[in-house]
Structure 1
Amino acid sequence: MQVEWWSIIPFVVLLGCVAVLPLLPATERAWESNGVKLLVALACGLPVAIWFIAAGHGGEVVHALFEYVQFIMLLLALFVVSGGIFLAGDIRATPRNNTIFLAIGGLIASFIGTTGAAMLLIRPLLNTNRERAHRVHTVVFTIFIVANCGGLLTPLGDPPLFLGFLRGVPFEWTFRLLPEWLVVNALLLLTYYALDRREYARETPEAIAFDTTDVSPLRIKGGINFVFFALIIAAVAFLPSLDLHAIETGHATFAQMVPWRELVFVAAAALSFVVGDRDVRFEMNQFTWAPILEVAALFVGIFLAMIPALNFLGQIAPTLPLNEITFFVFSGGLSAFLDNAPTYATFFEMAAQLPGEPRIGLAPGVPEAYLVSISLGSVLCGAVSYIGNGPNFMTKAVADSAGVNMPSFGGYLRWSLTYLVPILVVMVSLFIADGPVWTILGLLLGAAIAARAVWLARHHVHPSEIE
């Protein structure tokens, strides 16, 4: 269906509301209601759906809603299962231990999702650091690493990659992003370790003494939920959903008419909720449905409102200056301030209109070089602001409730521009940009970041760390 530029206005308005309304004093309180979010989402999405149905293109609306259901069911399953696991105990909040925490979170994020990993680790990380006064940087880097950059290796890791999987990108394809994942997360961890050494050196002797004596062994409560995590992973990797194309053409078999994957998601979430320890879920993790309801309310509008936006961008894609670098910049720039899942979908469809081999995904597929840039931009740049990825605000909310004075929207942006964006420039120079000049620039900037971290680590040492 041919559309004009003005057809993307509902999509832009909705994403603008998501970005701005939580920040305005006049709308901040109202926006806390998920009912208000749903009304705004439907106000932007339903007119688009009605328009497309009236124009005889209701199939596009059905496909959008089906992808929305698949997307929400995965997030719901991961959210419910992670809410049943609690890491009890308390270890010393040293820079080394904190860095190990974040490294583990960055690793598991690709396999249980950035939402699941962030919700699983943020509470025990805050509990471990409760004796320390300086904790903001730890939460910020949890958002960088665990809630975003760690989730690059599988479609389970981050919603954009799952949308790619739904569009035919093989489950194992994202493992080819391992070098980029290693460079970004290694530099983030090194930077965090150096910053935490500096902040640790600022702690009072009383706080460190309390942290040293108030120690108990770590132990996992609700371990049965790891079985349900395994079920979700297996379902994504091996089970099909229902085949809309076969159903629409009238050639669907019984197996193609059953959403096997989503049924396992529901079963895993239900079993976790019923079989799991309620004290762990509701007392220790303070589990509520509000975060997942917020995501569900907003995204029903986003998936509907982006239908004409995808069509329009597909029409103009051949006229845009698109290459590996601009795909990263465009997809990353939008993912930083809007939401990375629909941004990924938009640029995926744009890239599908362009020539290039080899191609990945359902026919006609996307040139692989462009898919790499879009995947990296959408996932990694979702960490640039609070509104780039769903777990960002969820992690901030948990930290706020634990008494951490988290930075404002602009304050967080300064953190990301100072520490995250230069590391992303290193990654682009080494892996996306072509030519020896870019490679040299990436190596020099990476070496400068590492040298700065080493200097910070060596020159800020708390007396308790000196043997």
Structure 2
Amino acid sequence: MVVEWWSVLPFVILLLSIAVLPLLPATEHAWEKNSVKLLVALACGIPVALWFVIAGHGGEVVHALFEYVQFIMLLLALFVVSGGIFLAGDIRATPRNNTIFLAIGGVIASFIGTTGAAMLLIRPLLNTNKERAHRVHTVVFTIFIVANCGGLLTPLGDPPLFLGFLRGVPFEWTFRLWVEWLFVNALLLLTYYALDRRAYARETDEAIAFDETDVTPLRIRGEMNFVFFAVIIAAVAFVPSLDLHAIETGHATLAQMVPWRELVFLAAALGSYLLGDREVRFSLNQFTWAPILEVAALFIGIFLAMIPALNFLGQVAPQLPLNEVTFFVFSGGLSAFLDNAPTYATFFEMASQLPGEPRIGMAPGVPEAYLVAISLGSVLCGAITYIGNGPNFMTKAVADSAGVAMPSFGGYLRWSLMYLVPILIAMVAVFIADGIVWTILGLLLAGGIGARAVRLARSNVHPSEMDD
């Protein structure tokens, strides 16, 4: 379906609503209600859906709604299961310990998914830091590292890479991105350590003393839920979902008409909720449904309103100057504001029409150099805004419910522009752009980022750290 530029206005209005309404005195309190978020999302999404249905393209609406259901069911299952796990005990919330927390999350994100890793670690991280006043930066970098950049190494790590796996990209291919993964996450961890060192130095002596005395050995409660985590991960990798294409062509078998994967997700969530330790879930984790309801309310509008945006992108793509760098810029820039999975799929199909060897995936395949750029852009740049990747908003919502005053949409964007985007620019210059000059400039930028972090860390030391 051919669409005009103005068809993306509902999506833009929805983004502006998410960014602006929480900041206006007249709307900030109303925006706290999930019912208001749902009304705004539907007001932007339903007119788009009706327009496509009336125009005879209702199939695109059905696909968007089904992808939304798949998206929410996965998030729901991971949210419920992670809510039944509690890391009991309390270690010191020092910069070193917090950085180790994030490093572990950045590793496991590639193997249990960014959503699973973020939901598993955000509550223990908040519990560990409950004595500290300065916690916003810790949640922001959890989104950067655990909810996004850590998930680059396997198709299980992030939804865009799983879409590539479904299109014939070998499971082990993403391991070739380990150098870029290490480059980005190492600089993010170094930057976080420096910022946390500064924040730790600003904590009151009373808060630090309380943190140091309130120390008990760590142990896990709700271990049974790791079984449900394994079930969810196995379902993502091996269990098929409903086959819309077969249904639309009239060739679907009975098995292809059943959403098996989503049923497994639901069973895992119900099993965790009904069989798990209620003290862990409700007393220790203070579990509420508000975070998942907030994500569900906003993303129904996002999935519907972005239908014409993706169509418009497909129309203008042939006129775009496409090479390795621009594939990263376009797929990354749009992944920051559109959900990164459909953005990856759009650029994957676009790249499959271009020449280049070697080619990866089912015939005709995608030139490997372009696939590298698309994969990096879709995964890493999903961290730039709250809506770039599903677990971003989920992590924010859990932090909000724990009393952390998280930044607004625009406030979070400032964080990413200040700390994440320069690292991504350095990565592009070193690993994607052609030419020794770009490599040198990228290394200089990376060196500057590292040197700034080291200076910041050395200049901010709390007396209690002297014994570390």
Cα deviations across residues 166-214 of structure 1 (Å, max 9, x unaligned)? 6665554433322221111111112222333333344444443332222
In the aligned structure 1, how far is the partner of 2:10 from the partner of 2:221?
A: 45
* Residues in 1 aligned to 2:58 and 2:112: alpha-carbon distance in whole angstroms: 34
| Residue 433 of structure 2 corresponds to residue 433 of structure 1 | yes
Partner of 1:186: 186
Q: Counterparts in 2 of 1:139-150, with a 5 A limit?
A: 139-150=139-150
Partner of 1:420: 420
**Partners of 2:288 and 2:113 in 1: how far apart?**
19
Contact 1:241 / 1:258 at 8 angstroms: preserved in 2? yes
Structure-1 separation of matches of 2:274 and 2:395: 25
Q: Which amino acid aligns with 1:108?
A: I
Which residue in the other structure is 2:21 paired with? 21
Aligned CA RMSD, in angstroms, stands at 2.9
Structure 1 residues 439, 151: closer, same or farther in 2, change over 3 A? same
Residues 61-210 of structure 1 correspond to what in structure 2 (within 5 A)? 61-164=61-164, 169=169, 171-210=171-210
The answer for the alignment partner of 2:250 in structure 1 is: 250
Give percent identity, aligned residues only.
87
Contact 1:317 1:351 in 2 (8 A): no
Q: Which residue identity lines up with residue 320 of structure 2 in the other structure? A: L
CA displacement 1:229-255 (0-9 Å, x = unmatched): 111111111222232222333333333
Q: How does 1:314-353 map to 2 (within 5 A)?
A: 314-337=314-337, 339-348=339-348, 350-352=350-352
Contact 1:89 1:215 (C-alpha < 8 Å) held by counterparts = yes
Question: Partners of 1:401 and 1:65 in 2: how far apart?
Answer: 28
The alpha carbon displacement at 1:308 in A equals 2.9
For residue 232 of structure 2, what is the amino acid of its counterpart?
I
Distance change (3 Å), C-alpha of 1:394 and 1:336: same
Alpha-carbon distance in structure 2 between the residues aligned to 1:409 and 1:59:
32
Q: Higher mean Cα deviation, 129-138 or 269-278?
A: 129-138
Is this contact kept in 2: 1:351–1:370, CA < 8 A? yes
> 2:4 & 2:408 partners in 1: Cα distance?
37
Residue matched to 2:240: 240
Q: 1:129 Cα deviation (Å)? A: 2.4
Partner secondary structure for residue 52 of structure 1: helix
For 1:217 and 1:108, how far apart are their aligned partners in 2?
Answer: 22
The residue matched to 2:38 in structure 1 has which SS? Answer: helix
Residues 401 and 45 (structure 1), Cα distance of their counterparts in 2 relative to 1, 3 Å cut: closer
Instruction: Give ranges in structure 1 of 5+ residues lacking alignment.
Output: none
**Equivalent residue number for residue 11 of structure 1:** 11
DSSP 3-state at the match of 2:251: coil
In structure 2, how many angstroms separate the alpha carbons of the residues matched to 1:298 and 1:404?
Answer: 21
Q: 1:161 to 1:295 in 2, by over 3 A?
A: farther
Residues 100-143 of structure 1, C-alpha deviations (whole Å, 9 max, x = no match): 11111222223333333333322322322233344333233222
Task: Go from structure 1 to structure 2 and tell me whether the alpha carbon gap of 1:341 and 1:267 turns closer, same or farther (over 3 Å shift).
Answer: same
Question: Measured at CA, do residues 402 and 64 of structure 1 come closer, stay the same or move farther in structure 2, by a change above 3 Å?
Answer: closer
Instruction: Return closer, same or farther for 1:406/1:257 CA change in 2, 3 Å cut-off.
Output: closer
**How has the CA–CA distance of structure 1 residues 59 and 459 changed in structure 2, closer, same or farther, with 3 Å as cutoff?**
closer
- Count of residue correspondences: 467
Is the 1:18–1:338 contact (alpha carbons within 8 Å) kept by the matching residues of 2?
Answer: no
Deviation at 1:216, TM superposition (A): 0.2
**Residue ranges of structure 2 left out of the alignment (5+ in a row):** none
> Is the CA contact (8 Å cut-off) linking 1:228 and 1:268 kept in structure 2?
yes
Corresponding residue of 1:282? 282
* Residues 1:412 and 1:293: Cα distance change in structure 2 (over 3 Å): closer
What SS does the corresponding residue of 2:21 show, helix, strand or coil?
helix
Shift of 1:227: 0.7
8 Å contact kept, 2:306–2:338: no
**Secondary structure of the structure 2 residue equivalent to 1:466:** helix
Is this contact kept in 2: 1:154–1:171, CA < 8 A? Answer: yes
TM-score normalised by L of structure 2: 0.88
Specify the alignment match of 1:265 in structure 2. 265
Secondary structure of 2:220's counterpart equals strand
Instruction: Give the secondary structure class of the aligned counterpart of 2:453.
Output: helix
Q: Distance in 2 between matches of 1:194 and 1:145?
A: 15
Shift of the alpha carbon at 1:10? 3.0
Q: Which residue of 2 aligns with 1:466?
A: 466
In the superposition, the TM-score normalised over structure 1's length comes to 0.89
- 1:152, distance to aligned residue in structure 2 (A): 2.5
Local SS of the residue matching 2:139: helix
